Amino acid sequence: MSAAVGIITAALALVAAAFGLWHAERRQRTEAVRMAKQAEKEARLKAARRAKRRKQKLARAKKERPVPEASNN
């Protein structure tokens, strides 16, 4: 009887260890996915800001460009 209890206890410890490893790995994957999404979001915001600055710069350049005079010959 005592041997059976020892075997059952060892089996439960093995299952608990396997579950602990699985859970830790899952949590790590979840964290990696969250970090990847955050990096993607930051990259989109950076690109949007860059595009906005480029658009403003082009608008300023267009406004400052001398208007060609119409020639009436």
User: Three-state secondary structure along 2-70?
Assistant: HHHHHHHHHHHHHHHHHHHHHHHHHHHHHHHHHHHHHHHHHHHHHHHHHHHHHHHHHHHHHHHCCCCCC
Please tell me the predicted confidence (pLDDT) of residue 1. 75
Answer whether 0.75 is exceeded by the pTM.
Answer: no
Please tell me the predicted confidence (pLDDT) of residue 65. 78
Could you read off the pLDDT of 6-42 as tens digits, one per residue?
A: 999 999 999 999 999 999 999 999 999 999 999 999 9
Is pLDDT of 51 > 90?
A: yes
Measure Cα distances from 33 to 36, 39, 68 in Å: 5, 10, 55
Please tell me the predicted confidence (pLDDT) of residue 72. 62
Segment 43-61 shows an average pLDDT of 95
